[in-house]
Amino acid sequence: MSGLIGASSSAAAKRAALRAGLDSGRLQRLPGAFSPLVAKAVAEVGFEGVYVSGAALSADLGLPDIGLTTLTEVATRGAQIAGATDLPTLIDADTGFGEPLNAARTVAMLEDAGLAGCHLEDQVNPKRCGHLDGKCVVSTADMVKRLRAAVSARCDPNFIICARTDAAGVEGVSAAIDRAHAYADAGADMIFTEALAEVADFERFRAAVDIPLLANMTEFGKSALLTASQLGAIGYNAVIYPVTTLRLAMFAIEAGLREIDSAGTQSGLLDRMQHRSGLYRLLRYADYNDFDTETYNFTLEETNHGRADH
């Protein structure tokens, strides 16, 4: 039954795997998953981890990414996604949902929910999407307090606490690097360098910062879309593709709905759909059937009176 309903690896094992991956010298690729089913597809293709984007999670709830989601919503959805595969899952924890004490509670809840790590950002609460203009960042001292509270709350030292800095677009890359040093000193395991514009900016961060770095390759944003090979060559340790799967899905959904509306049938869309057999493979229908057969393999015998024995 192990690995059939839920993952076969423990949360602790997944956290250790993420920690080892970041130290391996190989770029860890974490596509965004907005549902457990998408996480299963990420695992099937062979990626190293799963990412839960705050932007995708809020969009899936029909909300903009401006800090409207709650810790309970994020932890609940994160637990569902993290439990769907054996891959480690990193989740977006926004600003920690409040003051430093809230950030501590956020880490405790996310660790209990089975996540392998989270990132906290240095924006003013409530935050906004990192690739929008008009962002505001808290002082370095305030973010250090946020991070120290978060680090103090974790039980498993392998739970990754990543510090995201949005300062590059507000104060400049040099200031963002200075913040990264302070965040590392506060106990951050990794720095998320948000909204860097040029390859040279990524290279500057790598040359200046000693701890693991995470790149955000989101579409239609401020950053050039570097390849995994490019990021690996620069020396980045992890990359997320936060909203890619949601954008792919919504593009297909909108196009399909328009065709059904105009044509009156979905018959012309069949070659653009996941086949029933593909979904069944991903969900392991055959394994469930085998499990049922092995477990419920008894037969009822008739008594002389034609009634089943109890």
Q: Is 121 a catalytic residue?
A: yes
51 is catalytic: yes
Q: Which candidate in 111, 194, 236, 241 is catalytic?
A: 194
Q: Which domain holds residue 118?
A: 11-244
Q: Are residues 256 and 238 in the same domain?
A: no
pLDDT of residue 11: 97
Active site residue 119: yes
Which of left, alpha, beta for 118 (phi over 0: left; psi -120 to 50: alpha)? beta
Q: What is the pTM of this model?
A: 0.92
Catalytic residue among 48, 121, 122, 201: 121
Question: What CA–CA distances, in Å, run from 20 to 12, 15, 100?
Answer: 12, 9, 28
Do 255 and 191 belong together in one domain?
no
Q: Are 169 and 281 part of one and the same domain?
A: no
Q: Mind listing the pLDDT tens digit for each residue in 229-284? A: 999 999 999 999 999 999 999 999 999 999 999 999 999 999 999 999 999 999 99
- Domain annotation covers residue 310: no
Flag whether 3 is in a domain: no
Asked whether residue 110 falls in the same domain as residue 200, the answer is yes
pLDDT digits (tens, 9 = 90+) for 178-215: 999 999 999 999 999 998 999 999 999 999 999 999 99
Indicate the number of domains in the chain.
2
Annotated catalytic residue 219: no
From 15, 48, 77, 94, active-site residue: 94
186 and 94 in one domain? yes
Tell me: do 255 and 232 sit in the same domain: no
The domain boundary, picked from 244, 259, 280, lies at: 244
Let me know whether 86 and 167 are in one domain.
yes
Q: Is residue 261 among the annotated active site residues?
A: no
* Residue 129 a catalytic site member: yes
pLDDT for residue 307: 47
Catalytic-role residue among 131, 164, 179, 204: 164
